């Protein structure tokens, strides 16, 4: 269902009400919106943005800037209604005079949006610290739209495809200088507002990896990256799902937590407690090399047929072997499937064929650090250890597992299929 849901996020926007500053100007421009992997083809449309900001100010002032979308780039599709208070926009406004860009964020406030109805989202707001005199132009640019459903959050990224007119201009006069520079990162503490995917920080709103090792910071949230896994014949078409790598500093080491899409797949048959246990490799890059193994517990409760299924969060520890900036990227994954307690699991190996950097850390080398030696994940038929020797007492489990063959399960934006157990037919 999630693959259909992300097709809803076509980069629309709606009319929102904002306070009236000294000036407001509208500009209309074309955009191309790209849904998450599995969400369909990119969509091109035209949107009208109104940017409000003071007409005049002086150096040292911190001013409010608002981006309000007057005309959406598209309507909601005819696939699904969008719930109330589930749409959150984040935009970036280009600043003139070499001041970089300003990040503006909207509240997660919207009325219910029926199928085919115009998209609606709140005005995006931010604070701009003025550090130089002159005329500062504000031009709307790329923006992200995150929509949260009960089974996860999905983000569509939109960017202009041509020239964009200036939305507003601030005439900045000399004044008391100093203070922090805008620098094009976060302004006035504007934050994403916590759009989450069952606890997973979701796509596009956190741009660039978090950087660790400075200012006493201990928690380093990563950004979600779409990872495509090739699972051979076991999963035709493979798996594509957002994966987020986050870290918590623990002395000189980092405790890692890896999350995939939540509640985005349905159980085709009843799954017993302990049926699914995930593990993954996290590849180190930049100043360090190797991999870090992370594993997650099996599902703690039985899962009814048709109920939502999640892979558990996976954890592990990264002990740096080098000092410098180190990148962390999701790599190969495997899922152990156990339908009968005490029997050997059937392992589904999945090789990451495309991935990206989810997190960047500043590290200090530790004695005996770095990641584990890289291992090879092979694709093809799933392996089952001694499954062929489980005998008649496991027959019920084998039959139940065989029922899953050919059944399509959505995992993130991907199709997850437990497939053919041809070699089990004799034991059945």
Report pTM. Answer: 0.43
- Ranges assigned E (strand) in 356-428: 359-363, 407-411, 414-418
Tell me if residue 395 falls in helix, strand or coil.
helix
Residues 113 and 255 in one domain: no
Residue 274 lies inside a defined structural domain of this protein: yes
Listed in sequence order, the residues at least 6 apart from 306 whose beta carbon sits closer than 8 Å to its beta carbon are: 266, 267
Q: In DSSP terms, which residues pair with 277 in a beta bridge?
A: 336
Residues 247 and 171 in one domain: no
What is the reported pLDDT for 74? 79
Residues 229 and 189 in one domain: no
Residues 192 and 237 in one domain: no
- Ranges assigned E (strand) in 72-133: 87-95, 101-106, 124-129
The answer to whether the beta carbons of residues 39 and 70 sit under 8 Å apart is no
Residue 202 lies inside a defined structural domain of this protein: no
The answer to whether the beta carbons of residues 104 and 65 sit under 8 Å apart is yes
The answer to whether the beta carbons of residues 43 and 74 sit under 8 Å apart is yes
What is the reported pLDDT for 402? 33
Q: What string of pLDDT tens digits covers the 428 residues of the chain?
A: 333 333 333 333 332 223 334 578 889 999 998 877 655 678 888 999 999 999 999 999 999 999 999 988 877 777 778 899 999 999 999 998 888 899 999 999 999 999 888 888 899 999 999 998 999 999 999 999 988 876 677 888 899 998 999 989 999 999 743 433 333 333 333 333 333 333 333 333 333 344 444 446 889 999 999 999 887 776 667 778 899 999 999 999 999 999 988 765 667 678 899 988 999 999 999 999 999 999 999 999 898 887 877 889 999 999 999 999 999 999 999 989 888 888 888 888 999 999 999 999 999 999 888 755 444 444 333 433 322 222 223 333 333 333 343 333 333 333 333 333 333 333 33
Written as six digits, the tokens of 90 are 């984040």
Residue 70 lies inside a defined structural domain of this protein: yes
What is the Cβ-side half-sphere exposure of residue 342, based on CA atoms within 13 angstroms? 4
Residues 129 and 260 in one domain: no
Listed in sequence order, the residues at least 6 apart from 70 whose beta carbon sits closer than 8 Å to its beta carbon are: 15, 26, 48, 49, 50
Tell me if residue 126 falls in helix, strand or coil.
strand
What is the b/e burial string over 121-152, where b = at least 16 CB atoms within 10 angstroms of the residue's CB? bbbbbbbbbbbebeebbbbbbbbbbbbbbebb
Residues 256 and 142 in one domain: no
The answer to whether the beta carbons of residues 10 and 31 sit under 8 Å apart is no
Task: For residue 248, give Cα distances in angstroms to 208, 251, 256, 392.
Answer: 17, 10, 7, 47
Written as six digits, the tokens of 392 are 């008649």
Cα of first residue to Cα of last residue in the chain, in angstroms, is 33
Give the number of domains in the chain.
Answer: 2
| Parallel, antiparallel or unpaired: strands 219-220 and 101-106 | unpaired
Domain span at residue 380 reads 208-424
Residues 72 and 124 in one domain: yes
Residue 203 lies inside a defined structural domain of this protein: no
What is the reported pLDDT for 291? 94
Residues 85 and 168 in one domain: yes
Residues 215 and 91 in one domain: no
Residue 312 lies inside a defined structural domain of this protein: yes
CATH of the domain at 68: 2.60.40
Residue 136 lies inside a defined structural domain of this protein: yes
Of 150, 176, 197, the one marking the end of a domain is: 197
The answer to whether the beta carbons of residues 282 and 256 sit under 8 Å apart is yes
Of 174, 197, 220, the one marking the end of a domain is: 197
Residues 358 and 414 in one domain: yes
Return the H-helix or E-strand segment holding 384.
Answer: none
Residues 188 and 262 in one domain: no
Residues 189 and 257 in one domain: no
Of 197, 217, 243, the one marking the end of a domain is: 197
């Amino acid at each position: 269902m999630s693959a259909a849901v992300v097709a809803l996020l076509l980069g629309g926007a709606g009319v929102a009400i904002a306070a009236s500053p000294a000036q407001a100007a509208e500009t209309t421009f074309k955009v191309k919106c790209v849904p998450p992997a599995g969400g369909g083809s990119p969509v091109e449309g035209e949107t009208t943005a109104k940017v409000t900001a003071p007409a005049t100010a002086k150096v040292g002032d911190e001013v409010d800037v608002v981006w309000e979308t007057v005309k959406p780039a598209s309507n909601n599709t005819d696939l699904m209604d969008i719930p109330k208070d589930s749409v959150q926009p984040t935009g970036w406004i280009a600043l003139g005079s070499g001041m970089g860009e300003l990040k503006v964020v909207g509240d997660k406030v919207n009325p219910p949006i029926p199928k085919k109805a115009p998209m609606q989202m709140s005005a995006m707001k931010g604070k701009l610290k003025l550090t130089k005199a002159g005329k500062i132009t504000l031009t709307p640019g790329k923006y992200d739209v995150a929509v949260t459903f009960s089974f996860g959050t999905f983000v569509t990224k939109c960017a202009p495809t041509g020239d964009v007119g200036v939305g507003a201009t601030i005439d900045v006069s000399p004044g008391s200088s100093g203070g922090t520079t805008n620098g094009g990162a976060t302004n006035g503490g504007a934050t994403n507002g916590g759009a989450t995917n069952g606890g997973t920080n979701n796509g596009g709103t956190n741009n660039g990896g978090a950087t660790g090792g400075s200012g006493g910071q201990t928690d380093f949230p990563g950004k979600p990256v779409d990872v495509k896994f090739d699972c051979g014949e076991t999963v035709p078409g493979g798996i594509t799902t957002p994966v987020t790598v986050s870290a918590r500093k623990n002395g000189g080491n980092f405790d890692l937590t890896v999350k995939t899409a939540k509640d985005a797949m349905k159980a085709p048959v009843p799954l017993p407690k302990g049926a699914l246990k995930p593990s993954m490799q996290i590849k180190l890059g930049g100043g360090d090399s190797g991999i870090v193994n992370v594993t997650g517990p099996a599902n703690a409760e039985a899962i009814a047929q048709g109920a939502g299924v999640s892979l558990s969060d996976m954890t592990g520890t990264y002990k740096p072997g080098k000092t410098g900036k180190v990148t962390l990227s999701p790599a190969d994954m495997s899922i152990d499937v156990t339908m009968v307690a005490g029997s050997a699991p059937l392992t589904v190996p999945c090789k990451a064929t495309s991935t990206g950097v989810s997190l960047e850390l500043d590290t200090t080398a530790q004695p005996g650090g770095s990641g584990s030696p890289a291992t090879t994940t092979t694709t093809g038929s799933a392996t089952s250890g001694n499954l062929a020797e489980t005998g008649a007492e496991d027959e019920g489990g084998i039959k139940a597992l065989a029922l899953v063959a050919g059944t399509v399960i959505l995992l993130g934006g991907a199709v997850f299929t437990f497939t053919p157990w041809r070699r089990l037919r004799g034991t059945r």
